[in-house]
Amino acid sequence: MNLEHYRNYVAIVEAGSLSAAALKQHIAQPALTNQLKHFEETFGATLFVRNTRQMELTDAGKILYDKAKHMIYLEDAAYKEISACVKGIRGTLCLGITQAYPDPFFEDLLIHFHEENPDIQFTLYEASSNDLIDLLKDGVIEVGIIRTSRILPPILTAHLSFTEQMMVSGRRDNPWISPDQEEIHLEELKNIPLSITPGVYKRFTDACQRSGFTPQILSISTSRTNALMWAEHGHAFAVITTDNAAQYETDALFCRPILTAKGCVDRNFLCTRAVTTLKEGNRSAVALHFLDFCRQYHGLTGEETEM
């Protein structure tokens, strides 16, 4: 099967119609129709349910869509890696990242980027999101990985973004709350010592005040590692933000989302983590290569959609 046919199939799915996909791919619609018919004959399955407005994927069609995207990614990755090998991409990536470590997703991303690009060096700046934005403005860094509970400033472009939720991490043998709970209501934290990072401190304490109590803050740490340290030793619950609670689940620790008394997620408990650059200005080949890698890595892990 021609890999270009898989690209056309993905285009049909994402465009929602044969005519729109034909325009996007610069191919005659009858040819596209024949390719789709050939796919259905080859796999022995109906891939779309056709109606007057759009084409909807069947379960078989969804499977082929996922596999087609993966095959396309592998081919693109091969071309880019070979090109990088031939061209010998070298230089320094000036990158800023918020201080709220550990951050499993971006730790893995940086390690994989280094393994595929051993000739690229790093200058890493750890600072608050506001300070990283200033470093972007001043040209000290080219890429900033920031967290914000507000809309990004108009001077920035988000190349990749995730929605994170405020959560609590504590020891499974803690004396306060059962680890069997699927979520923790804010009021349940009323008399529990807490460790927290500055980035969520105000939003969290404001929410507590609205619920009629003042939280017992044991520690405010710029590092998420130190916030979790208190939880690991059983002296407090750590309040953190993440898009993947499972990354913080261990034999000793559990991690659960914080909900309001009504069992809802407070919008103030949500924030955005984004890979950003200045909207205007030139970007180095190294920065462009890193941004492209981020998008590919994000797609391969199947996380949330880009902003």
Contact 55, 12 (CB under 8 A): yes
**Per-residue model confidence as pLDDT tens digits over 30-68:** 999 999 999 999 999 999 987 766 788 999 999 999 899
CB 11 within 8 Å of CB 25: yes
15 within 8 A of 24, measured Cβ to Cβ: yes
What pLDDT band is residue 303 in, cutting at 50, 70 and 90? Answer: very low
Compute the distance between CA of residue 268 and CA of residue 187 in angstroms, rounded to an integer: 16
Higher pLDDT, 127 or 300: 127
What dihedral angle (degrees, nearest 10) is formed by the CA atoms of 296, 298, 300, 302?
A: -150
Cis omega (within 30 of 0) for bond into 198: no
Q: What is the rounded CA–CA span in Å between residue 270 and residue 242? A: 9
- Closest to 93 in 3D by CA, of 274, 277, 287: 287
Coil vs helix vs strand at 75 = helix
The predicted-structure confidence for 193-215, as pLDDT tens digits, reads as follows: 999 988 788 889 998 998 899 99
How many CA atoms lie within 13 Å of 174's alpha carbon, on the beta-carbon side? 29
Distance of CA 236 to the CA centre of its chain: 28
DSSP-derived pairing of the beta strands 270-278 and 193-196: unpaired
Q: List, for residues 98-148, the tens digit of each pLDDT value.
A: 866 556 777 888 999 999 888 898 999 888 888 899 999 888 899 999 887
CA nearest to 45, candidates 53, 33, 36, 54:
36
pLDDT for residue 40: 92
Taking 3-state DSSP, the helix, strand and coil percentages for the chain, each rounded to the nearest 5, stand at: 45, 25, 30
The pLDDT score that the predictor gives to residue 302 is 40
CA 123/CA 19 separation, integer angstroms = 47
In 3D space, the residue among 58, 303, 38, 259 whose CA is nearest the CA of residue 167 turns out to be 259
* pLDDT at residue 272, as a whole number: 81
Q: Is residue 224 within 8 Å of 267, Cβ to Cβ?
A: no
Residues 6+ apart with CB under 8 A from 289: 84, 89, 117, 120
Rounded to an integer, the average pLDDT of 147-175 is 87
Q: Residue 11 has which token pair?
A: 């285009």
What pLDDT sits at residue 306? 37
Q: Both tokens of residue 198?
A: 């500055």
Beta bridge partners of 255: 169
Range with lowest mean pLDDT among 204-213, 226-235, 286-295, 296-305: 296-305
Query: How far apart, in whole angstroms, are the C-alpha atoms of residue 106 and residue 228?
Result: 18
Phi–psi pair at 48, nearest 5 degrees: -135, 150
> If DSSP codes are grouped into helix, strand and coil, which group holds residue 90?
coil
Confidence at residue 277, expressed as pLDDT on a 0 to 100 scale? 93
